[in-house]
Amino acid sequence: SAPLLQVEGAKKVFKTGSRLNKTYIHAVNGVSFTVHAGETLGIVGESGCGKSTVGRLILRLTELTEGEIRYEGMSLSKMKPKELRKFRRQLQCVFQDPYASLNPRMSVGKAIAEPMVVHDKISWKEALKKAEELLVTVGLGREAAALYPHEFSGGQRQRIAIARALALNPKLIVADEAVSALDVSIQAQIVNLLSDLQHRTNVSYLFISHNLSIVRHISDRVAVMYLGRIVELADKDSLYDTPQHPYTQALLSSVPEPEVDSARERILLTGEVPNAAHPPSGCAFHPRCPYVQDRCRAEEPVLKEVGKGHYASCHFIENHLSN
């Protein structure tokens, strides 16, 4: 069956600078991936790699410069208003700061009920009843409905944001750094809640995060982004156990967890992510890559299949396989 979401050659170019001295930033530079029903695709990378822009493109918070995004096989750019409305309600988001997305003067019950009143045209009474049920679903009690956002902790507020996202029975939730602001123990609770909801509703997640451990926990497949491109994409175990791209290997080397990296040689990630306005020639990772050779500076590698369902873009994968 067609994937729920298909991103094909997506590009986003931002223009900055003055009229006479324009700078073009290729925030997303030809990204393709799919998300299937009931699946979680994790997107990882350092800040500035374009992962949030990918999420914003799918949410249509910013327009594509080039490429195509299909939802249930249909191109977003060709959707009629009715199809777009359906798409909008089936696609929800959860961001890092739930406080920013909740109206401080609106009770939590009303905040969750509101989208149902607007989109489902049901009465406030009925919507508020459903809101209470959703608050139970996300592990808060019915009593929470009468309270206001400031009366909750950060973790509880993120549960409220998730309840609100669930109100319209979405098929896909884009979660961008959704647990990053929370304490580690709370992060695990929220991630477990998301997994549990997925089992119950078959909702898909695009889970964007810089935190490799969290992404490993929740994802089925993982895409690693660097300077606007996917440099590696694989199912979770394959990516974490046998990373092929030097950037992925370096990211995993920096995870302070014994389980992630035992036998593998550690690669130290030095230097900053280069400025996307002036990307390095050839392989954009070459200034930081321990395996760099002349060809890397001249020629850009393409994403190719290096194992079953495992894709990586590097000229010399065969030469530095980890074992």
Judged by the rule CB under 5 A, the positions of this chain that interact with Mg ion are 52
CB contact at 8 A, 289 and 312: no
For 13, counting Cβ atoms within 10 Å of its Cβ (0-12 exposed, 13-18 middle, 19+ buried), the class is middle
In 121-183, alpha helices (H): 124-137, 154-166
Residues 276-295, mask of contacts with ligand SF4 (x by CB under 6 A): -------x-xx--x-xx---
State the minimum distance, in angstroms, from the CB of residue 140 to ligand SF4.
46
CB contact at 8 A, 288 and 271: yes
Q: Is 13 in the site for ligand SF4 (CB under 6 A)?
A: no
**Member of 193, 203, 233, 296 binding ligand SF4 (CB under 6 A):** 296
User: For residues 116, 119, 123 and 129, what is the CA-based torsion angle, rounded to 10 degrees?
Assistant: -10
Q: Which does 7 bind (CB under 5 to 8 A by kind): Mg ion, ligand SF4, none?
A: none
Q: Measured between alpha carbons, how far is residue 208 from residues 80, 96, 121, 175, 177 in Å?
A: 29, 10, 32, 6, 6
CA-to-CA distance for 286 and 4, rounded, in angstroms? Answer: 35
In the numeric block, which tokens belong to residue 164? 């609100």
Q: Is 315 in the site for ligand SF4 (CB under 6 A)?
A: yes
Q: Which does 52 bind (CB under 5 to 8 A by kind): ligand SF4, Mg ion, none?
A: Mg ion
Of residues 88 and 310, the one with the C-beta less far from ligand SF4: 310
For 314, counting Cβ atoms within 10 Å of its Cβ (0-12 exposed, 13-18 middle, 19+ buried), the class is buried
State the minimum distance, in angstroms, from the CB of residue 75 to Mg ion.
26
Q: Is 246 in the site for ligand SF4 (CB under 6 A)?
A: yes
Count of residues that bind ligand SF4 according to CB under 6 A? 12
Using CB positions, name the residue nearest to Mg ion: 52
In the numeric block, which tokens belong to residue 210? 């810089």
Q: Is 163 in the site for ligand SF4 (CB under 6 A)?
A: no
Q: Which does 148 bind (CB under 5 to 8 A by kind): Mg ion, ligand SF4, none?
A: none
State the minimum distance, in angstroms, from the CB of residue 293 to ligand SF4.
6
Q: Is 188 in the site for ligand SF4 (CB under 6 A)?
A: no
Would you tell me which residues interact with ligand SF4 (CB under 6 A)? 246, 283, 285-286, 289, 291-292, 296, 301, 314-316
